[in-house]
Amino acid sequence: MATENVTTNDRCRVCGESALWEFLDLGLIPPANKFRAELDDEADPYPLVVVKCQNCHHVQLKHTVDRELLFSKYHYYSSNSGPLQAHFQEYAQELESSLLEHDDFVVEIGSNDGVLLREFGDSINVLGIDPAENVAAEASKYGVETITKFFSTDVANEVRRTDGKADVVLANNVVGHIDNIDELMRGISSLLAEEGHFIMEVRYLPDLLNTGAFESIYHEHISYFSVHSLKKLAEEYDMELTAVERIDIHGGSIRAYIRHKSSKNAVGSGLEFKKDYVADLIDFEVGIGLSETSPYAEFADLTERRRDRIQALLRRLEKSNKSVVGYGAPAKGNVLLNYCGISSDQVQYITDTTPMKQGTYTPGTDIPVCSPEKFVNDYPDYALLLAWNYRQAILEQEADYREEGGRFIIPAPYLDVV
Ligand code: DWN
Ligand code: ZN
């Protein structure tokens, strides 16, 4: 293990408590998005241990890998997944019809290739913030101006000085990626207009636990939120969680609406019915024992069971000389492949729509990543659906493959062959 790019956190990132309960150790795993141009290139592994704070119950990684190493040159482009693009198109329309007004200023933290911001009409002023220059360059092709820095209070103040306060601050699948939560929240608090909304999408902890989706745990994902923990976090910064909704994206997420406690306006007609879900979901979380130990111990058991079943199936297929390829090379796929110890003997290659991933090798498992044409030109016996969060769309899109006798192995939420 390389030691220079990783630190151990002895205290809870939210409340500072030192009593942290380790409930899952996935071992040494390389950063999940470190696809390599050459097999000789480095993919150093780092510990992947998950802890729960015994005081505020915040679930988080024990270690922090240097963010420059994880995000500066980033292999993930949101627009390369059709269903995700559709999700953000719909989200932009929803925001325009329910919350946004003519000439509003919208800032997105972790704006990636502008997949969301590019969808707003000309009457909305948008600004992205994302540290990955290669990905931000893609956003600029769509006219989405992007500051290529990690979000911080300094960046927030810079934006405020130049463009004024933001009516809406968005953060999709990024709040959980930030080690210094205090810096994030102070920055948002300073940037957000008095009557503005901070809206985030984040993986929902109960969905992760219930599905045993251990592969959603990797070094980029530092915090795992519940409605309870988000509500407390908002309150610490004189903000309030006004509304929340569950969304069926990335294997189960929530969209949470936060604003300054001092806001005077009504939350807005678009949010009225989602207000009650805050209390409802907190009741649900109490009901499943989220502040106790059992859901986490069960998750750790389920993780091992899922690993054993996946390994057994792939060994069986290898023995019977079946061809198996991976479908989609998401970051979570690399955690699954590494934790299950899968090699290129079992999965010959992986197909992915992202040009930057094509021609590379997976970190830790050395499996070549190819373009989807290779799959279409020579259908394998089995396709291991690593991008299982897009199951429905991919099964529809690959109807021909299945008609010709090809079968998909769906590794999550439970192992299935269809
Ligand atoms: O938080 C994060 C989430 C939201 O996105 C990140 N830290 C990184 C990333 O995680 P991921 O890599 O697990 O995300 P996806 O969206 O599940 O990745 C899907 C991958 O599969 C992409 O590389 C595109 C590819 N794909 C494909 O090859 N064919 C996707 C679809 C839908 C397809 O048909
Ligand atoms: Zn804590």
Starting from the CA of residue 16, give the closest ligand: 2
DSSP string, 319-333: HTT--EEEE---HHH
Distance CA 227, CA 216 (A): 18
Q: Which of 228, 189, 187, 232 is nearest to 205 (CA)?
A: 228
Ligand 2 geometric centre to CA of 180 (Å): 13
Ligand 1 geometric centre to CA of 334 (Å): 11
Q: 400 CB contacts (<8 Å, ≥6 apart)?
A: none
Place of tokens 């893609």: 138
Ligand 1 geometric centre to CA of 45 (Å): 21
Which helix or strand (DSSP H or E) is residue 195 part of? strand 192-203
Ligand 1 geometric centre to CA of 77 (Å): 8
Six token digits for residue 66 = 């240097």
Per-residue pLDDT of the chain (418 residues; tens, 9 = 90+): 667 899 999 999 999 999 999 999 999 999 999 999 999 998 899 999 999 999 999 999 999 999 999 998 999 999 999 999 999 999 999 999 989 999 999 999 999 999 999 999 999 999 999 999 999 999 999 999 999 999 999 999 999 999 999 999 999 999 999 999 999 999 999 999 999 999 999 999 999 999 999 999 999 999 999 999 999 999 999 999 999 999 999 999 999 999 999 998 877 767 777 888 999 999 999 999 999 999 999 999 999 999 999 999 999 999 999 999 999 999 999 999 999 999 999 999 999 999 999 999 999 999 999 999 999 999 999 999 999 999 999 999 999 999 999 999 999 988 999 9
Query: What are the distances in angstroms from CA 321 to CA 145, 381, 382?
Result: 51, 10, 11
Which of 111, 352, 362 to mutate to test ligand 1, by most ligand atoms within 8 A of the CB atom? 352
Q: Which atom of ligand 1 is nearest to the CA of 397?
A: 34
Residues with CB under 6 A from ligand 1: 76, 80-84, 173, 220, 250, 328-332, 352-354, 357, 387, 389-390, 393-394, 397
Shortest-distance Cα residue to atom 31 of ligand 1: 81
Shortest-distance Cα residue to atom 14 of ligand 1: 330
Which of 33, 69, 80, 408 to mutate to test ligand 1, by most ligand atoms within 8 A of the CB atom? 80
Ligand 2 geometric centre to CA of 98 (Å): 35
Distance CA 137, CA 143 (A): 10
Ligand 2 geometric centre to CA of 189 (Å): 21
Shortest-distance Cα residue to atom 21 of ligand 1: 328
Query: What are the distances in angstroms from CA 26 to CA 10, 59, 79, 339?
Result: 19, 15, 30, 7
Distance CA 286, CA 104 (A): 38
